[in-house]
Chain A
Amino acid sequence: MKIIVCVKQVPDTAATMTVEDGVINWGDAPLIINPWDEYAVEAALNLTADQGGEVTALCLGKEGETEAIKHALAMGVDTAVMVSDPDLKGADNVAVSKVLAAAIEKIGGADLALFGQQSVDSDTGLLPPQVARYLGWPSLTLVSSFESVDPGVGKIRVLRTMEEGGQVVDSALPAVISVSKDYGEPRYPSFMGIRKASKAEFPVWSLADLDLEAPSSSVSWPEVREPAQKEIITEIIAGDSPEEKAKSLVEKMIAEKVL
C-alpha cells in the first residue's frame, strides 16, 4: 500500500518563546519534527511492514526546513517531498491544506494520507479534515489503532477517540487519518537510518510545480505577543506536620474563595 505522511518542522517543546519586533523567537532551541507527527510516521511504517508498500514523507515549509523530513527518513520512510515557495509566507490553514492536497495528487495519490493530531506550534489540528475535504476523501481523526486494513478492496477499520469514548469506524480508502499519541511509542531513528537520511536527496516543489497560483488566505495574524505575566505571590504553607499544613492550606483556600 501507498502511504503519504505529512510532517512539519517546529521548535523544540522545551523552548522558551519570545517575541521581538513582532517576530517569534525560540532562542537557540533546536528544531525538531513535530512530536505528534512521529506517531503518524510510526503508524505508516508499521502498516507498510504488514502490508508491503511505500511511505513518502511530505513537508511544507520554508527552504531549508528539513529537520522533520530528515527525522522521518531516519525513522525509515522510503522517500520524501518538500513543498516550499516564498508565496506561501503568511498562508492560513485553508491555503496550506489546498497546497498539501495538490502535492498529494502530484505524488500520485495514496491509500492513506497520515498526519499527527496537530502541530505543537500553531496547535490547530485543522489540516487533516481540510486536506480530506480538498481531496474528497473521508477524514478520520484522533485514530489510536488500526483494527484492519485491506488496500486490495479499499477498506479500513480504525478506532478513533472522542469526548464520549472510542468509536470503531469502517471507511473506504483512500482516506486521511490523524494519529493520536495513544497509538504507541514511535521508534528512535537507527544509526544507519540517520546516515541514510543525511545523504538522502528529495525534490523541492514550488507552487508552479503544483500548477497553483499563490493561494489567497482569509485569516491573517496582525499581532503576536507574549502573554502578560500574572503577578503571582507564592505563599508557602507553614506547619510542623503534613496534617498541620493540610489544615492550614484548606483555611487559606477558603479565605481566598478558591473553593
Chain B
Amino acid sequence: MTKKILAYIDHFHGKVQPSSWEALGVAKEMAADSGGEAAALVLGEGLEKVAASAFQYGADQVLVADDPILKDFRPEPLADMVKQAAEKYEPDVIIFPTTTRGRILAAMAAVDLDSGVMVDVIDLDWSGDQIVATRPIYAGKLLAKLVCSTKPQVITIRTRAFAKPEPDPGRSGTPIQLEVSLDPDGISTSIASMEEKTEGVSLNDAVVIVSGGRGVALNPCLDPPDDLSEADTEIWKAKKGFELIEDLAGTLGAAVGASRASVDAGYIDYDHQVGQTGKVVSPDLYIACGISGAIQHLAGMRSSKVIVAINKDPDAPIFKFARFGVVDDMHAVLPPLTAELKAYLES
C-alpha cells in the first residue's frame, strides 16, 4: 500500500534544526519503499528559503503556513496548524525531529489527532505489516520496541540516529500554501523577549564531545589567588580545568560536556550535563576527561561510537567503556594533546 509521510521541519526564525532533514530523510525512504510520497511541513513567517531547502532535501511536496501569528514559538497555534495540515494531507505517518519544539508539537499532535506518539526513536523497521520503532528507556540502559495501532502514527526521531540526506541544489518546486485562520485573541501566550545563545556547538548535534568531570578542579600545579575562600578556590581551579577542555573542543569543533558531579559542584552550567538527568548523546567521538564513569553518566554517553578516557585513576569504571585510555592527569595530557591534534588538523 502506498504511504504518505509528512516530515515536520523545525526551525527558529528560518534557521533550521539540522535533525529536521534527518526526519525528511526517513520520510523519503519510508515513502519510497511503499511507492508513496514524502511531504515537508513548514510553519512560521517568511519561509521561502526553508521551503526551497525542503525541496532540495528531497520533499515531493512542501506544505507551508506562512503568517506573522506563527513567527514565534508558541505551541498552541503551531499545534493547531499541524492538526490542520494532517487533516488536509492525510498522512499515514508524521515524523518530527526530537528537538524541544518537535517533541512538544508531536505530543500535542497525538492528542489532537486521536492517535499515539513514539518519541525519541533510534531505529525504525517498516518492512512488516506495521512500523516497529525502537527507543531507549532508562536513559539507554534498556531498549523498548513500540508499535502504534492508530493513524497517523506520530514519531519523533533522535538527533543523529538517522542519516541526513544530501541536498540536490537543482531540485525545486512550488509549495502548497495552507490557509491560516487562527484567532489572535484565542492565543493565551505572547513572547516578551528572547535571549539568544551565542556559544558554540550544541551537545545534541555534536559529532565530537569533550567532557569534564570532578577531575577538572584537581590540578596540583595551579597557584590560585590567596584571597579566595576554599570553595571559591575549587571553582577557580575548575574553571581553569574547563579552559583546557574548551581549547581541545575548539580545536576539534566539538561541544563541551560535563558530568553531573561537576555541574552540581558549580563548575559549569547544567546545559552541559551529559547523563541520565542531563542530555543523552551519541557522538562519533567522546573524550572524557577527569570523569570516573558513574552509571548515570555512562547511560548518557555509552552509545558514542568511540570513547577516549583520560583519568589518573587506573581503576576508574570509565576505562571499561573506552576504546583508548590514558592513565594520567588530564591537566598534563590535554595541552600536548590539543597541540598534537592542532598540528595534525592543520597539516
Chain B residues near A97: list those with CB within 8 A.
111
Give the total of A residues in contact with B, Cβ under 8 Å.
Answer: 79
B100 touches A254 (CB 8 A): no
A180 to B320, CA, bound (A): 32
Of B35-43, B59-67, B191-199, the one contacting chain A is B191-199
Does B50 belong to the interface (CB within 8 Å)? no
Does B120 belong to the interface (CB within 8 Å)? yes
Of A50-58, A77-85, A195-203, A219-227, the one contacting chain B is A219-227
On whether A92 and B196 interact (CB within 8 A), knowing A169-B191, A232-B323, A249-B324, the answer reads no
A259 touches B326 (CB 8 A): no
Of A41-49, A105-113, A205-213, A238-246, the one contacting chain B is A238-246
A126 touches B308 (CB 8 A): no
On whether A242 and B332 interact (CB within 8 A), knowing A93-B117, A253-B324, the answer reads yes
| Nearest CB in chain A: distance from B89 CB, A | 20
| Nearest CB in chain A: distance from B237 CB, A | 18
B336 touches A247 (CB 8 A): yes
Does B107 belong to the interface (CB within 8 Å)? yes
On whether A130 and B319 interact (CB within 8 A), knowing A138-B76, A165-B194, the answer reads no
Give the total of B residues in contact with A, Cβ under 8 Å.
Answer: 89
| Nearest CB in chain A: distance from B303 CB, A | 8
Contact with B along A111-147 (1 / 0, CB 8 A): 0000000001111111101101110001111100000
Contact with A along B303-342 (1 / 0, CB 8 A): 1001110000010000111111111110011001101110
Secondary structure type dominating chain B contacts: mixed
Query: Of the candidates A93, A121, A166, A171, which one forms a contact with B137 in the assembled complex, judged by CB atoms under 8 Å apart?
Result: A121
B108 touches A245 (CB 8 A): no
Does B210 belong to the interface (CB within 8 Å)? no
Chain B residues near A92: list those with CB within 8 A.
116
| Nearest CB in chain A: distance from B228 CB, A | 22
A259 touches B108 (CB 8 A): no
B140 touches A227 (CB 8 A): yes
Chain B residues near A138: list those with CB within 8 A.
75-76, 188-189
Q: Which residue of B lies closest to A141 (CB)?
A: B104
On whether A259 and B189 interact (CB within 8 A), knowing A16-B295, A235-B324, the answer reads no
A155 to B303, CA, bound (A): 43
A253 to B114, CA, bound (A): 50
A120 touches B276 (CB 8 A): yes
On whether A168 and B145 interact (CB within 8 A), knowing A247-B336, A250-B341, the answer reads no
| Nearest CB in chain B: distance from A116 CB, A | 10
A237 to B287, CA, bound (A): 14
Of B23-31, B147-155, B160-168, B170-178, the one contacting chain A is B147-155
Interface residues of B in 80-134 (CB under 8 A from A): 99-101, 103-104, 106-108, 110-112, 115-120
- Sample of 20 A–B contacts (CB below 8 Å): A13-B139, A13-B296, A14-B296, A92-B116, A123-B136, A124-B119, A125-B103, A126-B107, A138-B188, A162-B101, A164-B12, A167-B191, A168-B192, A181-B273, A219-B116, A227-B140, A236-B326, A237-B324, A250-B340, A250-B344
**Which A residues have a C-beta under 8 Å from some C-beta of B?**
11, 13-17, 19, 24, 35-36, 92-94, 97, 120-127, 129-130, 132-134, 138-142, 157, 161-172, 175, 180-182, 217-227, 232-237, 242-243, 245-247, 249-250, 252-254, 256, 258-259
Identify the 8 closest CB pairs spanning chains A and B, nearest first: A218-B116, A242-B332, A172-B188, A246-B336, A219-B116, A246-B337, A126-B107, A165-B197
